[in-house]
């Protein structure tokens, strides 16, 4: 195995006058050590990865059942676990943890005996985009792995830390309001005091015109935003031009990246779109591969299962529910936590990394199109060359299934179609959805976002 470790982090020296070899600060040394280990562990075989994960989960499960009231009750009937083979044998019998379970458990999901070296901890609440926000605790350990994996993501995609970074995301910080937004001297807590960086510009979500004006003004090298924000920006640039000249890569998270968005970004912006899969409760779940559009599960941080309706591990390309165990959170252990998302697994990646592959994150259960014949389909807004983003060019659109036979199309920032145009669009939509749904068009001034500025382009309201 080639364990050559290559990293070009501009680590500052902690001793004045000594610039080579660099003597890093303790924080930087700890980060470099973890990144070095990542350079080896990402090449482990599936068996090696699982063995290390099981060893860590033995520690986690035993700690949870002895110090966390929720698990003390739930795991009371399970035998004592002394080694990984025992845990492997009973793992699938451990009950799933749902969002509702976490809500109902309240403080009982927190340890009553915090590990001193993991403190301080702090409460973290999810955005509640599902209508069910959950509150857990994060701590020094979870923050460290968040920071390390953030830097791993930058290194995988060869980001230049000296360049400028821009973020468009909902925030209550009044300084981040348009037209100028907030300016910070570094990219954020993941790199602060460890890796010197260029400036970071932050703008809260606002109108597309305001966002475009801001981007043109600061002309960043990198942009981080929600996929829905990216879609609106890209459609604007497709119509009006004026793409910021320095923009060389876009990072997305928080929402589902549809294949048609990747195509749109490639057609209009001609720069890479790099997505990450994470949640507030768990941290990083998977990072996009540096050579492909699929994702590598961050096995050093989480243990991921993709389960079918029978509770069995899905085969490649079989949609299933994402169940995640956070390996290092001893403040509020999340063991076999049903995130609420569905995904498909992929084949081993030819890039050389042994980290398991998530081929595609499909979305939440309410993002499934329900057909009258009982089938459930993950909608793709493109079929045989027809794409919704072309049909509604320049518009913000949202598709809502109201009944098994009726779908409503919400449209904003576009002039109403004529009756004839609507009839033509209905024919195309029936072709895209492969069923003669009744399509109703609603023309709105604005399509509201959900909590945390998240946006869903498809929702099923059929119970």
Class of residue 240 by CB neighbours under 10 A (exposed 0-12, middle 13-18, buried 19+): exposed
pTM: 0.88
Question: What's the token pair of residue 63?
Answer: 């700690």
Place of tokens 């209009």: 268
- What integer pLDDT is reported at residue 389 of this predicted model? 76
Name 433's Cβ contacts closer than 8 Å, sequence gap at least 6: 369, 379, 383, 407
CB 422, CB 454: distance < 8 Å: no
CB 258, CB 381: distance < 8 Å: yes
Place of tokens 């973020």: 167
- At residue 59, the 3 state secondary structure works out as helix
Neighbouring CB atoms inside 10 A of 284's CB total 22
pLDDT of the chain along its 463 residues, tens only?
344 555 567 788 889 999 888 898 898 899 999 999 999 999 999 999 999 999 999 999 999 999 999 999 999 999 999 999 999 999 999 999 999 999 999 999 999 999 999 999 999 988 655 556 889 999 999 999 999 999 999 999 999 999 999 999 998 899 999 999 999 999 998 888 788 899 999 999 999 999 999 999 999 999 999 998 999 999 999 999 999 999 999 999 988 898 889 999 999 999 999 999 999 999 999 999 999 999 999 999 999 999 998 999 999 999 999 999 999 999 999 999 999 899 999 999 999 999 999 999 998 776 788 999 988 888 777 666 777 878 887 788 889 999 999 999 999 888 999 999 999 999 999 988 889 999 999 999 888 877 777 777 888 998 8
- What integer pLDDT is reported at residue 388 of this predicted model? 83
* H or E stretch at 339: strand 337-345
> Distance between the two ends of the chain, CA-based, in angstroms?
52
* H or E stretch at 104: helix 99-105
Give CA–CA dist 127/143, Å, rounded. Answer: 18
Class of residue 270 by CB neighbours under 10 A (exposed 0-12, middle 13-18, buried 19+): exposed
Helix then strand then coil, % of the chain, to nearest 5: 30, 25, 45
* H or E stretch at 337: strand 337-345
- What integer pLDDT is reported at residue 4 of this predicted model? 54
- What integer pLDDT is reported at residue 2 of this predicted model? 47
In our burial notation (b when 16+ CB lie closer than 10 A, e otherwise), range 335-371 reads bbbbbbbbbbbbeebebebbbbbbbbbbbbeebbbbb
Alpha helices in 295-442 (DSSP H): 388-391, 419-433
Place of tokens 């045989």: 384
- What integer pLDDT is reported at residue 6 of this predicted model? 58
Question: What's the token pair of residue 32?
Answer: 């470099």
Question: What's the token pair of residue 274?
Answer: 């790099």
- What integer pLDDT is reported at residue 151 of this predicted model? 95
Relative to beta strand 320-326, strand 249-252 is unpaired
Question: What's the token pair of residue 391?
Answer: 């049909």
- What integer pLDDT is reported at residue 52 of this predicted model? 97
For the four alpha carbons of 361, 366, 372 and 374, in that order, the dihedral sign comes to positive
Alpha helices in 131-179 (DSSP H): 140-156
Give CA–CA dist 20/92, Å, rounded. Answer: 51
Cα-trace Rg, the chain? 23
- At residue 142, the 3 state secondary structure works out as helix
Query: Which residues are 135's β-sheet partners?
Result: 125
């Amino acid at each position: 195995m080639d364990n050559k470790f290559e990293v070009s982090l501009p680590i500052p020296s902690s001793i004045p006058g000594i610039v080579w070899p660099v003597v890093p600060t303790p924080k930087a040394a700890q980060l470099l050590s973890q990144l070095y280990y990542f350079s080896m562990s990402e090449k482990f075989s599936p068996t090696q990865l699982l063995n290390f994960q099981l060893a860590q989960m033995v520690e986690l499960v035993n700690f949870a059942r002895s110090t966390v009231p929720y698990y003390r009750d739930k795991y009371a009937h399970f035998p004592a676990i002394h080694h990984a083979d025992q845990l492997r044998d009973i793992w699938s019998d451990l009950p799933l943890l749902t969002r509702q379970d976490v809500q109902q458990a309240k403080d009982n999901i927190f340890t009553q005996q915090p590990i001193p070296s993991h403190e301080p901890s702090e409460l973290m609440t999810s955005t509640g985009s599902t209508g069910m926000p959950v509150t857990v605790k994060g701590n020094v350990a979870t923050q460290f792995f968040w920071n390390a994996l953030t830097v791993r993501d930058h290194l995988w995609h060869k980001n230049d830390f000296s360049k400028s970074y821009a973020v468009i995301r909902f925030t209550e910080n009044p300084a981040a309001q348009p037209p100028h937004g907030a300016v910070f001297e570094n990219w954020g807590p993941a790199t602060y005091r460890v890796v010197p960086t260029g400036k970071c510009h932050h703008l809260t979500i606002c109108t597309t015109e305001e966002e475009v004006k801001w981007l043109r003004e600061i002309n960043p090298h990198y942009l981080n935003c929600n996929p829905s924000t990216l879609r609106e920006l890209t459609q604007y640039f497709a119509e009006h031009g004026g793409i910021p000249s320095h923009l060389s890569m876009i990072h997305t998270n928080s929402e589902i990246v549809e294949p048609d968005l990747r195509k749109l970004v490639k057609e209009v912006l001609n720069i890479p779109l790099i997505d990450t899969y994470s949640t507030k409760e768990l941290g990083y779940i998977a990072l996009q591969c540096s050579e492909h559009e699929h994702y590598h599960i961050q096995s050093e941080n989480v243990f991921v299962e993709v389960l079918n309706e029978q509770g069995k591990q899905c085969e490649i390309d079989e949609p299933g529910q994402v169940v995640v165990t956070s390996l290092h959170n001893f403040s509020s252990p999340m063991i076999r936590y049903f995130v609420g998302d569905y995904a498909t697994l992929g084949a081993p990646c030819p890039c050389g990394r042994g980290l398991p592959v998530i081929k595609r994150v499909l979305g939440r259960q309410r993002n499934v199109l329900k057909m009258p014949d009982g089938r459930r389909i993950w909608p793709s807004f493109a079929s045989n060359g027809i794409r919704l983003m072309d049909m509604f060019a320049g518009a913000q659109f949202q598709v809502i299934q109201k009944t098994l036979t009726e779908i409503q199309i919400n449209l904003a920032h576009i002039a109403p179609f004529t009756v004839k145009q609507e009839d033509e669009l209905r024919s195309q939509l029936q072709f895209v959805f492969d069923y003669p749904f009744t399509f109703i068009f609603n023309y709105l001034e604005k399509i509201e976002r959900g909590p945390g500025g998240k946006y869903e382009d498809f929702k099923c309201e059929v119970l």
